[in-house]
Amino acid sequence: MLKPLKPKAPRVDGGSFAIIAAKYNGRYVDAMLNAAQKELDRAGAKEVEVIRVPGSFEIPAVAAKLAQSHLPPLSAIICLGVIFQGETSHAQHIGWGVTHALAQIQLQHEIPIVHGVFIFENEEQARVRCLGKRHNRGIEAARTALEMARVMAEVERCT
In tens, the pLDDT along 101-156 reads 999 999 999 999 999 999 999 999 999 999 987 889 999 999 999 999 999 999 98
| DSSP class of 110 | T
Structural domain boundaries in the chain: 16-49+57-158
Sheet with 113-120, strands from edge to edge, namely: 47-53, 16-22, 76-84, 113-120
- Check residues 72 and 39 and name the one with the higher pLDDT: 39
Closest C-alpha to 60, from 103, 25, 89: 103
The confidence band for 2, taking pLDDT boundaries of 50, 70 and 90, is low
Contact present, 39 and 8 (Cβ < 8 Å): no
pLDDT for res 76: 98
Catalogue the E-assigned strands of the chain: 16-22, 47-53, 76-84, 113-120
What is the rounded CA–CA span in Å between residue 82 and residue 23?
9
User: Candidates 3.40.50.960, 3.30.470.10, 3.90.79.10, 3.50.50.60; correct CATH number of 16-49+57-158?
Assistant: 3.40.50.960
- CB 81, CB 117: distance < 8 Å: yes
- Flag the least confident range among 4-13, 26-35, 100-109: 4-13
Judge whether 152 and 112 are in contact, CB under 8 Å.
yes
* Whether 27 contacts 138, CB under 8 Å: no
pLDDT of residue 10: 62
Q: Residue 90 catalytic? A: yes
Out of 90, 100, 109, 135, pick the active-site residue.
90
Cα 50 versus chain centre, distance: 11
